[in-house]
Structure 1
Amino acid sequence: MNAQTKMSAKGQIVIPKELRERLDWATGTELEIEESAGGLILRAARKDRKRLSLEEFRARRPKYEGPPLTLEEIDRRVEQAMAEHFKKEYRIKR
């Protein structure tokens, strides 16, 4: 969905109702704002965000015991996993 809104003199913007409902953003939802090359990214804040060290990440990741994967297969699997994560994280209903 594409939408337009205007910023008030106080820097406030209105997020269209259809988007708020689809994203399940109720009054009081805490949001994160991230600057990107093209503008801003707005998303619901996650309270459980804890950075892991590389050692913690390696200890938590499941061990892969199958045959070696090509870079294309790795890319495809990462893309699939990110799509699933995105749907769950942002409650995309498709």
Structure 2
Amino acid sequence: MSRGIWRATTIDSVAGKTHLTGMSVEITISSKGQVVIPKDVRDALGLRAGEKLRLSHRGRRITMEPVGEPVRERISYEEFRRRIPAYEGPPVAVEEMSARIGELFEDWPSRP
């Protein structure tokens, strides 16, 4: 998923809702120094509650980027089965599956 800067246009100034249109978003700093990343931006970038961000600045430019791996959505087994289509090919022996899986992971770097 690409991460970038988004432009938002206020479409409901009373409720303060924003919707993405392209490059940047205008937000307000609260009296406690807090900012809210608009839902459209969070959704587009796959940001989830609890995910850590690194804030850096250069001159008057502020950037935020996710730290580490993105938080993965937790789903039930039933939801997993719903999302993954059933295998409809010919029967395959367990040994053949194991050999093929081993081939797929040969070039992956090992984890410590």
TM bracket, shorter-chain basis: 0.3 to 0.5
Q: Which has the larger strand fraction?
A: 2
TM-score, normalising length from structure 1?
Answer: 0.45
TM-score, normalising length from structure 2?
Answer: 0.39
Q: Which has the larger helix fraction?
A: 1
| Structure with max Cα Rg | 2
* Structure with greater contact order relative to length (CA < 8 Å, sep ≥ 6): 1
